[in-house]
Amino acid sequence: MIDRTQYPEEYQALYAQLDVDPMEMDNQLARMPHLVQDASELATEAENAMNEASLAYDVVKAEIAEALRSHNEKITEASIERNLPLYEEIQNARRTLNQAKTYMRLCEDLVRALRIKSQHVLKTADMIMSGYMTPSAAYERRRDEIHAARQAAKRS
């Protein structure tokens, strides 16, 4: 499981909006376009950061490879490629790149999840409007959730 607390507050705030709450249908319907837009912008920023990290990784690799070539003119490219992962600067740049890729993928997944939530909100609203799901059922479900949370809190 991924520790989402290591990511920016904007990501955490959008992630917290993924649940569909039948008691807040009007607010959720109104806010969905903005949430998807915010998540899309966050994903774009994450992609830009990943591209910058990729470029930085390539630069560090090239600089160290050039330094190896200048110290030993007879070194082969295969030998350089085998030795590059041994350098701490390359390991750090690779770690930064991997973190940026992970965050970018999480942001892209967040956009998809919010789009799916938008569909679920519309479907839930349709269910309420058609009488399939009644407001009292939503109230009862909410009351049961609160009761279960209180019971769990008492046990711990």
pLDDT (tens place) for every residue of the chain, 156 residues total:
788 889 999 999 999 999 888 778 888 889 999 999 999 999 999 999 999 999 999 999 999 999 999 988 888 999 999 999 999 999 999 999 999 999 999 999 999 999 999 998 888 888 877 877 676 776 777 788 888 989 998 887
Q: Residues with Cβ < 8 Å from 43, sequence gap 6 or more?
A: 104, 107, 108, 110, 111
> Can you spell out the DSSP letters for 33-64?
HHHHHHHHHHHHHHHHHHHHHHHHHHHHHHHH
- Dig out the tokens for 81 from the structure: 């490629």
pTM: 0.77
pLDDT computed for residue 135 by the predictor: 67
